[in-house]
A and B are shown apart, each in its own frame.
Chain A
């Protein structure tokens, strides 16, 4: 599955465009991050892609088909920002909602759905929580529940809205590692919003940095550099390549 956005434009008021003529391509099996500071329009861009907001102009294509409403397209999963839902389902019930595309309108999940729920829970490593209520989980555990719900229908592409935003240090990396694992083992493509350049550089093949009235996109290691971080985030940084334990790492240092 190939996702492409062509000249996407969106605004609420014409005088204040959120983004103008944004184009990018996400190939099957790749991870792409959308970077930008808070309130710049990253979530709005994802909402346009999924059809929650209507493009003012431009389109989004899945392979050769235009993506207008995500509910009519199979193969895409979505992980919202971790939030507490009003009602409290058990983890198993919550994840089984991910089977909605194949459960008939008047039906309920059947045995096969339960099997895929169990395997999704195993994949993200929370099978032991399956009978716990979502309201009793920590932020990190809840985020894993939403990821399990997104992958239970075996999508080719998963869209994530700031998956690590409200998590502590340990859980941030747990989620990032899980994304890499799903990408390698299940060949799932990812389109991920984040406001952390170091997270983006760590996991993504491609990146798009969204600013006011401008954006830049390309290979992650090429565009996530000190210059772009300065112009899009207004932070002076230096990025060093250092050897890590299992792989080389990028060290971000803020230099005032």
Chain B
């Protein structure tokens, strides 16, 4: 029986990975600038065969669509994995990176960076990352200060911290130059992959991939964290240190995602919970499953974002519009199945 369950998981992973491959191809073909399928194929093969293709098609496929889909995969997989990890860490399936305030914190850091330095620079990235970490720490400390129901107090602390940082974001917007900086901050906060270049990918990929690898290394230990501190200790593990490692990894991923693609909500909550219903709560399966499903979800959302209307729809709006009702549906049905 145990072997059969693993087989089912492997089948699920193979199936999901092949969907990702299909979506990658689809993403290269679809877009507002029309590049015919034949041309896309010749662009893709030109590197191998060194045949000549129209320069603009090469640019669109290699320098716009390809980095963009890579970023979508990285951010989708990263946010879903860190959402799952945060949920295990705080033994609460309703926790997501947003609920703990990391998105608001990183959002504030990045807005401040844009305000101070004008464009996305190293300073913006550092501030986004630092404030992401600060917000999670504040939520955690705040929840520890209140005795009683830990689950509830954690969620409440996150709401408090988010509220403070959202207010600070508003403050930054208020003082930002309305012609150049304010639109930049606003669009950036709604989330988008449109700014993705190969350069972006270079500095985004490393922290996100490292963070995911760290979480995958700890995948079985996270199971122990879900039991609560006392049980984890009695089983011979140090929950404090593992939790710290998980929070740091998940925060690095989330802060990097916010830095590169703005605030994209819901993914970290919906995808892990959807995966729980398919592969169960064991993080040995849940984390890899969340990564691939997160990537699939984000590729689909990005495809819709850039092809549904003439103007591009910000990603954050779509993840909520698609994600929330979908989650409600899955949640109601999952409740019956359990």
Residues of chain A having any CB pair with chain B under 8 Å = 47, 50-52, 69-71, 74, 76-78, 80, 85-90, 92-93, 97-98, 100-101, 103, 105-109, 114, 130-131, 133, 135, 149, 153, 159
Contact = CB atoms under 8 A, between A and B. Distances in A.
Given A71-B237, A74-B236, A100-B235, A90 B230 contact: no
A71 B220 contact: no
Contacts, number: 94
B233 A52 contact: yes
18 contacts: A47-B230, A50-B230, A50-B233, A52-B230, A80-B230, A85-B91, A87-B276, A87-B281, A89-B280, A90-B5, A92-B2, A93-B223, A93-B282, A100-B221, A106-B218, A106-B221, A131-B1, A149-B235
Interface residues of B, number: 34
Given A86-B92, A86-B93, A88-B338, A98 B220 contact: no
Contacts of B93: 86-87
B224 A100 contact: yes
Given A130-B2, A131-B1, A89 B223 contact: yes
Interface of B: 1-2, 5, 88, 91-93, 151, 217-221, 223-224, 226-238, 276, 280-282, 284, 338
Nearest to A134: B281
Among all A-B residue pairs, the 9 with the closest Cβ atoms = A78-B234, A101-B236, A87-B281, A106-B217, A108-B220, A100-B235, A71-B233, A86-B91, A131-B1
A47 B234 CA distance: 10
Contact of B280 (A52, A88, A109, A114): A88
A90 B231 contact: no
Contacts of A76: 234
Contact of B2 (A78, A108, A131): A131
B220 A78 contact: no
Contacts of A133: 280, 338
- Specify which of B91, B217, B236 lies most central, judged by the most chain A CB atoms within 10 Å of its CB: B236
B236 A100 contact: yes
